[in-house]
């Protein structure tokens, strides 16, 4: 599970992509108020199965009225359920974050099965 800060008033554009040959995965993003325990109900929750014929998904996470954090994860299908993917930060800049997920440890799988690309739009000052 990856966690990132989500400042009040900011908007995030999320692009989820998957390799067509990587099988079915499920990504999840939860928006929680900063400082709240992870077991509380999130303010917002996004997630979707991705892979196969559906390899490109986009959402906008709207600005919140308070500082929040995002909890980010991905899983892959196994018989009878889902298993957590291994995740790693591929790129981290002030304007964006790219997290790659794979169902194999990083050293065994040179390609990400799923990538979540977060583009940050700063808060617009109020006049």
The CATH number linked to 113 is 2.60.120
Provide the domain count of the chain.
1
**What confidence category does residue 54 fall into, taking pLDDT thresholds of 50, 70 and 90?**
very high
Q: How confident is the model at residue 47 (pLDDT cuts 50, 70, 90)?
A: very high
Structure confidence at residue 35 (pLDDT): 86
Instruction: Report yes or no on 127 lying in a domain.
Output: no
Is the C-alpha dihedral spanning 59, 65, 66, 67 positive or negative?
A: positive
Reported pTM: 0.88
Answer yes or no: is 20 within a domain. yes
DSSP for 66-118, written as a single string: S-EEEEEEEEEEETTEEEEPEEEEEEEETTEEEEEEESS-TTT-SS-SEEEEE
The pLDDT of residue 73: 94
Q: What is the sign of the dihedral through the CA atoms of 51, 41, 96 and 2?
A: negative
Mean pLDDT value of segment 70-80: 93
DSSP 8-class letter at 124: P
- For 41, the domain range is 2-121
Which residues, listed in sequence order, are joined to residue 54 by a DSSP beta bridge?
51
Q: Is residue 126 part of a domain?
A: no
Residue 6 within any structural domain of the chain: yes
- Per-residue pLDDT band for 105 (boundaries 50, 70, 90) equals low
Strand partners, 36: none
């Amino acid at each position: 599970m990856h966690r990132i800060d989500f400042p009040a008033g900011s908007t995030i554009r999320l692009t989820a992509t998957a390799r067509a040959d990587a099988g079915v995965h499920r990504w999840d993003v939860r928006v929680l108020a900063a400082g709240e325990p992870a077991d509380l109900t999130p303010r917002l929750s996004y997630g979707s199965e991705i892979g196969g014929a559906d390899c490109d998904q986009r959402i906008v996470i709207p600005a919140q009225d308070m500082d929040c954090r995002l909890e980010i994860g991905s899983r892959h299908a196994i018989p009878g359920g889902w298993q957590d993917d291994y995740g790693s930060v591929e790129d981290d800049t002030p304007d964006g974050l790219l997290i790659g997920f794979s169902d194999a440890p990083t050293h065994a799988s040179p390609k990400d099965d799923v990538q979540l690309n977060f583009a940050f739009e700063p808060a617009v000052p109020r006049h």
